Amino acid sequence: MNVLAIDSSNLVMGVAVTTGRKVLGELTTNSRKNHSERLMPAIAQILNAVGLKPADLDRIVVAEGPGSYTGLRIGTTIAKMMAWTLKKELVGVSSLEVVAQNGRGFDGYIAPFFDARRGQVFAGLYENKGREIVRTAPDQLLMIKDWITELRKLDKPVLFLSNDMEKWCDLLCSESYATLGESTQNVPRAAELARIGAQKEPVSDIHHFLPVYLRLAEAEAKWLAKQER
């Protein structure tokens, strides 16, 4: 099965093409540039590099969130458009689950997170179970200090993984149970996204597939607040 994976859910943008257990190609960037201008050219570049046409794909896998509101809309819109026009399967995977894969082999809990501003984070909790990494708590949006308080109650060390580690490094380093991921562990890999997505059931209705925002966009939240006054 030829799989195209797309991740524009956060600052890191990644695309990958896999077939079976083989990674044919992968492209990752980690810079503050516009995903809306760069994602489609990146997809075309990776397909051309591995010698495949869009029609050769069997499945489109997209990082469904949580993450950047704009980034999620860009990635899911392109994934839905490709799946619909090419008549291919579509699968959504948690953006946090993708990052958690970089904690494979860690003897404890894996805590991927993304900065959500105003002291908040999008956070997940995972654990190695045999050869698989499984979710042990729902992905959530919460204050990072509240999250840290909850994690102190766990009975094992915690590996924190995030491309936003620099912002929260001092706070996390003071926790005795915490291990901070290396730079290469903090970046989500589109090839891992493809691997996970290849094992999941495709969505039944492409048109009704939506990103997992975990919160309203700021503009929507302000509008609702005004309506409630």
Number of alpha carbons in the 13 Å side-chain half-sphere of residue 110: 26
Kindly report, residue by residue over 3-20, the tens digit of the pLDDT: 999 999 999 999 999 999
Domain ranges of the chain: 2-94+188-226, 96-180
Class of domain 2-94+188-226: alpha beta
Superfamily of domain 96-180: ATPase, nucleotide binding domain (3.30.420.40)
User: Do the two domains 2-94+188-226 and 96-180 of this chain adopt the same fold?
Assistant: yes
Tell me, what's the pLDDT at 32?
80
Q: What is the mean pLDDT of residues 181-210?
A: 98
Q: Whole-angstrom Cα distance, residue 143 to residue 124?
A: 13
Q: How far apart are CA 207 and CA 77, in angstroms?
A: 10
CB atoms within 10 A of CB 39: 22
What is the mean predicted confidence (pLDDT) over 42-63? 99
Q: What average pLDDT does the structure give for the chain?
A: 94
Give Cα separations from 52 to 2, 7, 17, 193 (angstroms).
Answer: 9, 19, 9, 19
Distances (CA, A) of 123 to 26, 38, 77, 148: 26, 27, 24, 11
Torsion 6-217-135-168 (CA) sign: positive
Residue matched to tokens 């991921």: 181
Can you read off the two tokens belonging to residue 45? 């570049």
